[in-house]
Structure 1
Amino acid sequence: MKALFVRNVSWITTTAVSLGLLAGCSGGGEPAPAAKSDSAKPADTQGAKANAPLKMQFLVPSFADVPDMNDQYWTEWQKRTNTKLDIEWVPSGDYDTKFDLVLASGNLPEILVSTSTTRPTLLNAIKQGAFWDLTPFLGDFSKYPNLKNNSGPNVWSFMKSDGKIYGLPRNRPQIDLGIKFRKDWLDKYNIPVPQTLDEYTAALKKIVTSDPDGNGKNDTVGVLGHGFLLADGDDTFLAAFGGLNPVYDKDGGLIRNWLTPNYTQMVEWFRQQYADGILSKEFSAIKKTQAEEMFSTGRAVSYVRNIWRDYTWEQDIKKVQPDAKVITLPPLKGPGGYTASLANPTYGGMYISKKVPEEKVKQILDYMEKTTTMEYTDFNYYGIEGVHHKVVDGQPQLTELGVKQVTTNANQVFAMAFNNKMKVLNPAAPKAYNDAKIKETEIYSQQGKMNPFGNIASDTWTSVWPKYEKEWQAMVTKAIVGQISMDEYKSYVNKLNDNADIKKAYQEYAKAYKEYFGNAK
């Protein structure tokens, strides 16, 4: 599954978004352009009209090669769902920028996918009336039992803004990310599988200083990441320092996770990894595609990514290092918890433009209800038997065509049914391998923590933090590489936490946390 370069996001000003949305919503309840075109076509009969495919226009992120909508997979999907999909695929690394530009223009697709429920431009668009309030449509969910019963834990709370449901969930497993490690290199140096952060560090230090690939250059990277700080790996390591638990200031405000003492403790830990030559020297500049290429060609020891990738990357590394074995480590015990972060049970949401006619909103909801089942989720994962997969030992295994056509992009156009195994299973792996993987990773649901800031928002934080974000990131990087002392970094964080606007944001976060997660501290 081919990842794409991540680029810096260009934030769109609130004013630009507001103007664009006002322009885009001026038509009130009138149909989107595509819908107008469709309605202008006379139907041959009432029956033919009723059975006509539902045409839907999406804007979605692309996490693989852009699919051919006429291939076997997408032809069958549209046949089974009686739909005609008009999808604009945007490379995932460019999606936030495109998302903001579309909102600013007001020229919204019928269904807009957001990869976050708390993105500032999204929340502003909701307030400006860009999307349908779905609360009266869904009601008590008696007409939508699949959407109710097959969605992830608490996701409908996360779909709310000001108490109203505006989004449809993109259900995703909570067991997802894990720390990958080269088990063959552990074996090579007679090192047991690490169980703690200290053992992890010791193992990495031994391996990176011993030229494990035998190329004579001693250039193997210990801990690999991409983006800032380690991107996918941040929450995994932060959980070991207790940083995914709510942390409050003396006034009862909920401190943003990046500015907690726990995060500072993690920064200090990475500072030592950097000094010891374990953390990649280019950690702040590596792109996702570069990191994937480095790990999959055997140039790194450890990397936090989706658990299902173990098998795929092991096969890739075997092409250059035949004895390669990739494992996901068990949750490592740290000073404040375990390296087990649970993913948000919804990867953002799907929002229906207010320009879509009310009757078509109901049709879109019917499509989502029909497809939010394990039957459709399994099809989404494996495709057509005999074409995209064959059954081996009672388990579907993707064919070569299946690997090509049934990619992560197939997940983007419906809610999916919640299933905690789907990010652990590798459809190309043997059944015995997948069965063992499921058993090994069950502990993640017991020891894992979810970052609450993926689902709660603060208007004050949204307006204030962009003023400090780049500066704070630079300070983190300087602290890790030793350009400033930890005392200097701590003083900087304390100064931010004493800022009146930031303290106000913490009060708003505390209120939102209570609303979404209850009174637990």
Structure 2
Amino acid sequence: MKMKKRSAVAVGVAGMMLIAACSDNNTQEPKKESDGQPAQTAVDPYRLPKPVDVKIVKAVLPDLKLPQGDTVENNLFSRHTAEKTNINFKLMWYASGQDYEQKYKLAIASNDLPDALIVDEKTFRSMAEGGQIEDLSKAYETYASPQLKEYYAATNNKALEKATIGGKLMALPNIVPLADSYALAWVRQDWLEKLGLKPPQKLDDLAAIAKAFIENDPDGNGKADTVGITGNNSTLASGSYTGGHDFKAVFNALGAFPGIWHKDKAGKLVYGSTTPEAKQAIAKVREWYAAGLIDKEFALRKNPDELVVGGRAGIFFGAWWAPWSPLGDAIKTNPKADWKPYLLSDANGQYNATMVPVSASFLVAKKGFAHPEALVVNLNFNTRFLRTPTDDDKKLDQTYVSMLPLDLTIDYPDTVNRKHDMLKQALEGKLSPDKLTPEMKGHYDRWQRDLSNHGANPGDWSAPYAYQFGAGAIVGKKVNEVFPVFTSSTKTMEKRWANLQKLETETFFKIVLGEQPLDAFDKFVQDWKSQGGDTIAQEIEAELK
């Protein structure tokens, strides 16, 4: 579909920011009666003046368990929200996983919509083009809380820009943590120390470590059963988001940014999987696989986590949050396993990262919904509840926080770095623990429990370890951050993208596994361009003008 030009977006966002600047805290003082005009009632960004019903749908965990007497529609969080905001959420239906996705897509196609819905960017723009969603500009201008505005402003208003079409705010966007971009090499530190090896800085360092892990029996069981580096059987590199066990870190270290549309050094629009640097990265992974440094079964292995959890692998690529999964289970299996993350540089010592889009989820209101302000008030409330909860908020059992209605992640883009710094200062005695946010105080307490009895409860270990060491591998690094310039869809992408992605995946795997020569990459690029890639590039360039 056709996105509006940036000038229109900028005008819309500038207008909203001007109004925000004129009203610092959005809790407006009542206007005095003048010239016969009645006084206006003050606006409370956290509570509507009268009760409002909002029909929603909800994705829930397949193994969801609630306190006795609670339901998905009527539970401690929905009741708390209704009491505090005057918003009563009415559940049309709920589902899990693929069932949810299928049901909500059918609802959109048949226009059988709830009053509010959270969708991805492609769906958001399609619904806007189809006239299915309501303009939220006035609701945002009137009701957005100072806290919500502050978070959006921290993105340089790029989040609001992504949700603005034709100068109108057509959705409330989430904010994606930038730390989710970075692909880290997680390495068994205890094995490094046992073999007298230094931590890796570059790709060749990691290859040497993998070789040593395979050949020198780091687990001491007397068997040649150790895997160097794990792999992912569905993708070599996952694009802007860092997936588990893929080789995005290798691509980035060689200046390649696969899976995204970005500007190259000359300012030209390119698809990152088709560049000469991408070919170099594939050559490197092919070289490692041929040398036996990568799990020889990776293309067939259904779950590479099992190698990490079972203590057979010494290296895998993953995000800062890997201590939750798979390392939580790995520590449960072997509390003595010591995993440390490393950001790998290129040959010149420069770090590169394929960055996540600023927003990926969009809260929309059905066209004609009479109370779009309810969406803003609810987002204000949820954001305050999760970031700066009141004493009443703190009384709720956070085990069931996923039951917050219309939960959209809003936080600073660099929130992971901030939380790392906060926790580190507290652990070093530079910040009193009672000055921590409720979330980080919880992680501080968990870490103290783990220090006193490491491994007794892996749940105590994962989160504080992720913020200390996963985030710690990122904080303070000067990184060449390459952002995607286009994350939506075009007419040709609707028809051709699935086939182009299949061509990419199959070719890359065949080259790495030695089933095709490295130069098959050049044929892939030619075919990719002729089968729709060039047309898509032209469409994107037209959208970006």
- Do Structure 1 and Structure 2 share a fold, with TM-score over 0.5? yes
After TM superposition, the structure 1 stretch with the greater mean CA deviation from structure 2, 75-84 or 460-469, is 75-84
The yes-or-no answer on 1:302 pairing with 2:315 is yes
Query: How does 1:123-138 map onto structure 2 within 5 Å?
Result: 123-138=125-140
What amino acid is the match of 1:130? Answer: Q
Structure 2: how far apart are the matches of 1:436 and 1:182? 13
Query: How does 1:122-521 map onto structure 2 within 5 Å?
Result: 122-138=124-140, 143-151=144-152, 152-153=154-155, 154-161=158-165, 164-176=168-180, 177-179=182-184, 180-214=186-220, 216=223, 218-220=225-227, 222-225=229-232, 227-231=234-238, 232=243, 233=246, 235-244=248-257, 246-247=262-263, 254-284=269-299, 290-310=303-323, 313-333=326-346, 337-338=350-351, 340-354=353-367, 356-357=369-370, 360-373=371-384, 375-377=385-387, 404-406=399-401, 413-418=407-412, 420-422=414-416, 428=443, 429-430=446-447, 434=467, 438-443=471-476, 446-447=478-479, 449-452=481-484, 455-497=487-529, 499=530, 501-513=532-544
CA contact (8 A) 1:58 1:85 kept: no
CA contact (8 A) 2:134 2:170 kept: yes
Q: Out of 93, 105, 110, which is 2:110 matched to?
A: 105
Give the 3 Å change call, closer, same or farther, for CA 172–377 of structure 1 in structure 2: farther
Give the 3 Å change call, closer, same or farther, for CA 450–459 of structure 1 in structure 2: farther
CA contact (8 A) 1:240 1:332 kept: yes
Structure 2: how far apart are the matches of 1:101 and 1:466? 20
Give the 3 Å change call, closer, same or farther, for CA 102–306 of structure 1 in structure 2: farther
Deviations 1:269-314 (A, max 9, x none): 2212222223334444555xx3445433434333333413326754
Structure 1: how far apart are the matches of 2:77 and 2:138? 34
Give the 3 Å change call, closer, same or farther, for CA 362–319 of structure 1 in structure 2: closer
SS in 1 for 2:178: coil
CA contact (8 A) 1:57 1:85 kept: yes
CA drift of 1:160 comes to 3.2
Give the 3 Å change call, closer, same or farther, for CA 52–460 of structure 1 in structure 2: same
| Residue of structure 2 in register with 1:25 after alignment | none
Structure 2: how far apart are the matches of 1:361 and 1:226? 44
| Residue of structure 2 in register with 1:393 after alignment | none
CA contact (8 A) 1:58 1:112 kept: yes
Structure 1: how far apart are the matches of 2:482 and 2:358? 9
SS in 2 for 1:301: strand
SS in 2 for 1:505: helix
What amino acid is the match of 1:452? Answer: P
Give the 3 Å change call, closer, same or farther, for CA 158–309 of structure 1 in structure 2: same
Give the 3 Å change call, closer, same or farther, for CA 453–474 of structure 1 in structure 2: farther
Structure 1: how far apart are the matches of 2:387 and 2:135? 26
Structure 1: how far apart are the matches of 2:61 and 2:412? 20
Structure 2: how far apart are the matches of 1:79 and 1:263? 54
Structure 1: how far apart are the matches of 2:293 and 2:210? 7
After TM superposition, the structure 1 stretch with the greater mean CA deviation from structure 2, 101-110 or 476-485, is 101-110
CA drift of 1:201 comes to 1.9
CA contact (8 A) 2:231 2:294 kept: yes
What amino acid is the match of 1:184? Answer: D
Give the 3 Å change call, closer, same or farther, for CA 512–297 of structure 1 in structure 2: farther
| Residue of structure 1 in register with 2:15 after alignment | none
Deviations 1:91-149 (A, max 9, x none): 456665555444323322332222x42x3x5433321112223345435x785543332
CA contact (8 A) 1:150 1:372 kept: no
Structure 2: how far apart are the matches of 1:89 and 1:226? 31
Structure 2: how far apart are the matches of 1:285 and 1:415? 35
Q: Which runs of 5+ in 1 are unaligned?
A: 1-13, 15-47, 389-401, 516-521
Structure 1: how far apart are the matches of 2:368 and 2:118? 16
What amino acid is the match of 2:475? Answer: E
SS in 1 for 2:229: strand
CA drift of 1:195 comes to 0.8
After TM superposition, the structure 1 stretch with the greater mean CA deviation from structure 2, 180-189 or 414-423, is 414-423
Aligned residues: 439
What amino acid is the match of 2:378? Answer: Y
What amino acid is the match of 2:193? Answer: D
- Identity of matched residues, %: 19
SS in 1 for 2:476: helix
CA drift of 1:218 comes to 0.9
CA drift of 1:199 comes to 0.9
Structure 2: how far apart are the matches of 1:488 and 1:205? 28
CA drift of 1:321 comes to 2.4
CA drift of 1:475 comes to 1.1
Q: Which runs of 5+ in 2 are unaligned?
A: 2-46, 67-71, 421-439, 449-463
Max radius of gyration: which structure?
Answer: 2
Give the 3 Å change call, closer, same or farther, for CA 147–105 of structure 1 in structure 2: same
Structure 1: how far apart are the matches of 2:396 and 2:144? 34
- Root-mean-square deviation over aligned CA pairs: 4.0
CA drift of 1:64 comes to 7.5
CA contact (8 A) 2:136 2:171 kept: yes
CA contact (8 A) 2:48 2:377 kept: no
Structure 2: how far apart are the matches of 1:308 and 1:207? 24
Give the 3 Å change call, closer, same or farther, for CA 305–84 of structure 1 in structure 2: farther
What amino acid is the match of 1:104? Answer: A
Structure 2: how far apart are the matches of 1:105 and 1:158? 26
